[in-house]
Amino acid sequence: MSFRQLSILPLLGTALLLGMSSVVLSRFEAQTEGSDVVVTWQASVETNVMTYALERKTRYDSQFKELTRIAAKGPNQLHQYRDTKIYKAAGEQVQYRLRIIYADQSFVTVDPVSVDYTPTAIRRTWGSIKAMFQ
């Protein structure tokens, strides 16, 4: 399995190449929406991509943790994930990154995008209570 970390310049269409596999991301962003964070990405080229692994890191994490895997849908299709479980990150910056997994199991990791997260007081309190039991 090979690994490479690559920078993505938002909306500029940077190519990620690995053998006969490639991705050109035209969009990768994270935005707050109410008390959630919505992560969105889109690829204008998606050659031999099997799945996207979305990872998150908060100041409480020593490394990125995988949240979900979303199957590739083909070029120019919007991929989206709503993160509803970021209670511990109250008032902090949250980072998200993509690991693009190809059909041959090789992968590339995209540099993270960040968003500042400030939940409502109710969710912040519930998150604090929940954190005591984890």
pTM above 0.95, yes or no: no
Domains held by the chain: number? 1
Expressed as residue numbers, the domain containing 43 is 5-132
CATH code for the domain of 27: 2.60.40.10
Torsion angle, CA of 112/103/46/20, rounded to 10 degrees? 110
> With bands split at pLDDT 50, 70 and 90, how would you rate the model's confidence at 122?
very low
Mean pLDDT of the chain: 78
pLDDT over threshold 60, residue 8: no
- Per-residue confidence (pLDDT) for residue 59, from 0 to 100: 82
Q: How far is Cα of residue 36 from the mean position of the Cα atoms in its chain?
A: 14
With CA atoms as reference, report the closest residue to 13 among 3, 1, 27: 27
